[in-house]
Amino acid sequence: MGLGSIMGTGVFVSIGTAVDMAGWGAIVAIALSAMVAMVNGLNSAQLAASHPVSGGTYEYGYKYLNSWWGFTAGWLFLLAKSASAATAALGFAGYFAVIAGFDPQWQTILAVGIVVCFTAIAVLGITRSHLANTIIVSTTLLALGFFVLAGSGLLLNSTFWEGARSAIGRVNLGQMLQATAFMFVAYTGYGRIATMGEEVIHPQRTIPRAVVVALGLTMGIYLLVTLVGMAGGIKAGAAPLAEVAVQFPFPYSSQILAIGGITAILGVLLNLILGLSRMLLAMARRRDMPAFLAQINQSGTSPVPAVLTVGLAIALLSLVGNVKTTWSFSAFTVLVYYGITNLAALRLSQSDRLYPKGLSLAGLLACFFLAFWVEWQIWLVGLGLIALGLAWHAIALKYRAENS
């Protein structure tokens, strides 16, 4: 479940941009972001063990901090995951273009179209099953395994390694940290593992192991894919792996990668629409969002207003048409979100704490430090939207006080 939640848009879309940002520094960035994700995953796990409710940091913020932190976490979740979903839609369009062979200028329209389709599916109350997850993970791993094995011949090029030796010495620290923040989002599915306390045997032992193993495996796969991609001259774009696969000595290599990318990305997109709509529903029930968003359809299977609102937001973000912009925005907001997670973990009592306080402090500092290594325009917009959300929360609190 962890691998299915983690591997998707990140490996198929973001690696090309990370290499474009930092060159060989992307290798270090992938390892560093995995370590930060591991710390955050363990802190999320101990919060989930202490307070096993759905809602993640939105609920932890309310319980261990105050309503302002709780609301901010929920608001950041909506912003971060909407941007991730838009990136997924654009990634789908990029890989679908490889199979269908249509003009790339139609990719944005196709991205919006797939969001509309999956919003309709979510309105019907259809969810992703464990069987579907197994199929998606298997297809993803097979496609990535093919990419590494079929592209391994590119690593035998002596010119590539000669260029690498000189390029490693020119790695820019700032660009590497920017790539680390960027790649962090590619690991954030670990939150799904942290919330599985009621579904596994011996959760206090099993969940931390699952977090470490899933993130370790993911990092290894990301590093192998990145090396092959760099040997193939990977570039930023919506379908970077398929573009590298053109060089493989096998027919239909790009199409094989496109199928793997589409399968993984569509699974991510459906999960994000479902998760976002349920978060919006939870916030509306607490009156952190307008009350009408808490309405459920007659069969009780879907919060229709929340799903439609989420679908509209993702479709609008997809119109940006640039995966680097949407993914960078997701990076800033999700890093601040997990900063609040670590802040809440610092407030755990000694009896509820599974790990030393230093782990929570390390996660807190790492998240807030990395958040501001994305482009300054991105974090300025992010801070502006946080301020807008807090202004809304102040109005909501005043309204509730006047009507209580």
Q: pLDDT tens digit string along 269-283?
A: 988 998 899 899 999
Q: Which amino acid is at 269?
A: L
Q: For residue 118, which of 277, 326, 311, 281 has the smallest C-alpha distance? A: 311
3-state secondary structure of 404: coil
| Whether 296 contacts 303, CB under 8 Å | yes
The token duo for 291 is 């009350």
Query: How many angstroms separate the CA atoms of 179 and 26, rounded?
Result: 6
Domains and CATH numbers, the chain: 2-402 (1.20.1740.10)
pLDDT of residue 56: 86
**b/e per residue 83-120 (b: at least 16 CB within 10 A):** bbbbbbbbbbbbbbbbbeeeeeeebbebbbbbbeebbe
pLDDT of residue 189: 83
pLDDT in tens, 191-245: 777 766 666 777 778 888 888 999 999 999 999 999 999 999 999 988 999 999 9
pLDDT of residue 128: 64
The token duo for 264 is 């993984």
Please work out, in degrees rounded to the nearest 5, the angle formed at the alpha carbon of residue 282 by the alpha carbons of 276 and 288. 105
The token duo for 384 is 């502006």
Helix, strand, coil: what percent of the chain each, to 5? 80, 0, 20
Map tokens 């430090």 to a residue: 369
The token duo for 155 is 């690593």
List, for the chain, all residue ranges whose pLDDT scores fall below the cut of 50. Answer: none
Neighbours of 257 (CB within 10 A): 28
